[in-house]
Amino acid sequence: MRVQSLPAAIRLEDDTLYLDYEAVSSGSGYVAPSVMLEFGARSTGEPASIRDIDCDASGQVDGVEFPKASPRVMHAERTFWEKATAIHVFCLQERLRGDRFARHWHDVVRLDDAGFADKASADRQLANAVAKHKSMFFAEKAADRSPIDYAAAVNGNLVLTPSGEGVRALGEDYARMVDDGLLLGDSEPFEHLIERCTQIQAHANKSDASK
């Protein structure tokens, strides 16, 4: 099929839809020319509300009007806890779960920049709701084969800073993302990213202790 006069093809695999397109350039090849849309039922998507969305390119091209939308979207506070707990699992397992996994650390820092990390840390009901959901649908084990306790993670024991082999693997993944331009102008040195996550971890754990 063709989308907006551009060559593209759609693939469907279980509950995931892929939109494959012809890339203008390939870079290092780390980023596949494909957009993935997941339609699984393992996320509640709550809390959510209607938000107005503008294209990033809006206002950048003279004479061109880009479409707007008002979808129902999940709140960024939940996104923080979803990503923070995914990071927590990685830190305890010390292994990547696929390419471009370092985006979670980058996203958590950007959420903190926007003030959402503080709001999420203060929302104990939301934190525990995410922990309960993750425990049901994303049961994991740490490197020592012990079960990962999501409830403990969101209640004073969150780990956002990897160690050992995990640091090396994550640093390489982050460098490849930066080299291929995935993070645009927001990318900072890997060491600074980890330092920021250390601070976010300490604040999240302290927020729980104050309740």
pLDDT in tens, 161-183: 998 888 999 999 999 888 888 87
- The yes-or-no verdict on residue 2 having pLDDT over 60 is no
In this structure, of 130-134, 137-141, 185-189, the range with the lowest mean pLDDT score is 185-189
Counting beta carbons within 10 angstroms of the beta carbon of residue 25, is it exposed (0 to 12), middle (13 to 18) or buried (19 or more)? Answer: exposed
Q: Are 8 and 2 in contact (CB under 8 A)?
A: yes
201: helix, coil or strand?
helix
Q: Are 27 and 51 in contact (CB under 8 A)?
A: no
pLDDT in tens, 38-89: 876 677 888 999 999 999 888 888 889 999 999 999 999 999 999 999 999 9
What is the pLDDT averaged over residues 4-15?
82
Note the pLDDT of residue 209: 56
pTM of the model: 0.84
Rounded Cα gap, residues 105 and 135, in angstroms? 21
Cα angle value 17/20/24 (rounded, 5°): 150
